[in-house]
């Protein structure tokens, strides 16, 4: 952990984006490397580097299937990864709350899509009417 | 962020050092918003396209049969228009779903496949039953009611049952509504059933399109 309690593995812009993006998927889902790259906007080399760090920490799991032109690499958040992101979010919220007490105009970006426990709402399921279920659109 | 450049531990550490809690929260908010926007199926478009199928397609079929005494069958042009609109709506649904779910695998993908396969098999069964009804001597009125409402019954049952996987009461309610419309609209008669289905499905779908659109913007 860093001095302020934020997990250093997550606390880097690219990896934070990766973790948050993967956390929007429901448990049991994964994202292809190509789609993840498109969503995050990193070069393949950078994405591999960041994924390796997250994988070494046990936060993501990559899986490669097929070979040649049929090769498909998928990435999924592990349970440890989801838990780590929830802890990170909780610590971040504490830091922001502290900052807000000292400076009331500070607004957080954490509230809309996390529940009281800091868990992420999942928005991916493509069942025809899943979005209506989410409550937050 | 240094997209496009090599990342070293040093660069990584300096990036992190330059990111305070507010910046981290902003990154999280932006990443989450983008992921949700990109990975969520655009339901307003799907609802609107199917609302068009019912309001326009079923509506035209109703216009083609409303004055028939005695009732015989919908006009070919009206059924062709309905089929064209249904094919277009299917295309829109497939394209919109594919755009959001491209690259997403795992449990959701399996659920989606089972859902669409169930719907396809159910509709196939319905369209096989139609000539079977003719074969056993069912009249034009029975065939008309069956043709108009049986797809709704299949869609309603698949949708309601599918909510077991999605745990979605809104979808369950919509499924039950489709079943109810299919069950009761036949009482409007072989011509009226088309108008009843057009309004009872088309209008709620338009409302759902507006609601999901408003939610997406809020």
Mean pLDDT of A4-18: 92
Give CA–CA dist B143/B127, Å, rounded: 11
The set of long-range contacts for B110-119, using a CB threshold of 8 Å and a minimum separation of 24, is B111/A125, B111/A127, B111/B162, B111/B165, B111/B166, B112/A125, B112/A126, B112/A127, B114/B165, B115/A127, B115/A128, B115/B158, B115/B162, B115/B165, B118/B158, B118/B161, B118/B162, B119/B154, B119/B155, B119/B158
Q: How many domains does chain B have?
A: 1
Which candidate from A8, A76, A106 shows the least CB-CB separation from B106? A76
Q: Decide if A130 is inside a domain.
A: no
Q: Cβ(B190)–Cβ(B209) under 8 Å? A: no
**Residues in chain A within 8 Å Cβ distance of B215:** 131-132, 136-137
Beta bridge partners of A88: none
Q: Decide if A35 is inside a domain.
A: yes
Q: Decide if A33 is inside a domain.
A: yes
Q: By CA distance, what is B216's nearest residue in A?
A: A137
Q: Decide if B73 is inside a domain.
A: yes
| DSSP three-state, residue B105 | strand
Q: Decide if A39 is inside a domain.
A: yes
Q: How many domains does chain A have?
A: 1
- Quote the domain boundaries for residue A31: 13-115
Measured in angstroms, the CA of B27 and the nearest CA of chain A are apart by 7
Q: Decide if B95 is inside a domain.
A: yes
Q: What is the domain-level CATH number for residue A52?
A: 1.10.10.10
Q: Decide if B144 is inside a domain.
A: yes
Which of residues 43 through 82 in chain A touch B, CB cutoff 8 A?
A: 43, 45-46, 49-50, 74, 76
Give CA–CA dist B190/B171, Å, rounded: 29
- Quote the domain boundaries for residue B96: 44-217
Q: Decide if A124 is inside a domain.
A: no
Q: Decide if B203 is inside a domain.
A: yes
Ordered per-residue pLDDT tens for chain B, 218 residues: 334 334 445 556 566 666 888 899 999 999 999 999 999 999 999 999 999 999 999 999 999 999 888 888 899 999 999 999 999 999 999 999 999 999 999 999 999 999 999 999 999 999 999 999 999 999 999 999 999 999 999 999 999 998 887 788 888 999 999 999 999 999 999 999 999 999 999 999 999 999 989 987 76
Q: By CA distance, what is A52's nearest residue in B?
A: B7
Residues 6+ apart with CB under 8 A from B101: A124, A126, B39, B41, B108, B109, B112
């Amino acid at each position: 952990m860093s001095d302020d309690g934020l997990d250093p593995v997550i606390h880097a812009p690219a990896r934070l984006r990766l973790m948050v993006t993967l956390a929007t998927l429901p448990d049991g889902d994964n994202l292809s490397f190509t789609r993840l790259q498109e969503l995050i906007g990193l070069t393949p080399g950078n994405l591999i580097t960041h994924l390796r760090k997250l994988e070494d920490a046990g936060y993501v799991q990559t899986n490669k299937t097929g070979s040649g032109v049929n090769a498909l690499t998928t990435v999924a958040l592990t349970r440890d990864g989801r838990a780590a992101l929830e802890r990170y979010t909780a610590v971040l919220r504490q830091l922001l709350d502290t900052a807000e007490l000292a400076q009331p105009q500070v607004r957080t970006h954490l509230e809309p899509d996390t529940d009281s426990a800091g868990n992420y709402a999942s928005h991916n399921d493509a069942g025809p009417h899943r979005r209506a279920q989410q409550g937050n659109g | 962020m240094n997209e496009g450049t090599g990342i070293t531990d040093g660069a990584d550490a300096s990036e992190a050092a330059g990111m305070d809690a507010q910046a981290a929260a902003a990154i999280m908010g932006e990443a989450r918003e983008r992921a949700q926007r990109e990975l969520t199926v655009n339901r307003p478009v799907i609802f609107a396209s199917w609302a068009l199928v019912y309001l326009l397609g079923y509506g035209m079929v109703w216009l083609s049969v409303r004055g028939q005494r005695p009732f015989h069958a919908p006009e070919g042009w009206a059924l062709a228009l309905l089929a064209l609109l249904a094919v277009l709506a299917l295309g829109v649904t497939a394209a919109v779903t594919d755009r959001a779910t491209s690259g997403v695998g795992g449990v959701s993908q399996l659920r989606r496949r089972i859902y669409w396969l169930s719907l396809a098999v159910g509709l196939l069964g319905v369209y096989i039953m139609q000539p079977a009804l003719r074969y056993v001597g069912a009249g034009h009125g029975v065939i008309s009611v069956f043709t108009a409402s049986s797809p709704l019954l299949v869609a309603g049952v698949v949708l309601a049952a599918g909510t077991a996987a999605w745990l979605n009461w809104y979808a369950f309610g919509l499924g039950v509504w489709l079943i109810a419309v299919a069950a009761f609209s036949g009482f409007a008669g072989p011509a009226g059933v088309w108008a009843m289905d057009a309004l009872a499905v088309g209008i709620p779908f338009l409302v759902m399109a507006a609601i999901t659109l408003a939610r997406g913007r809020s």
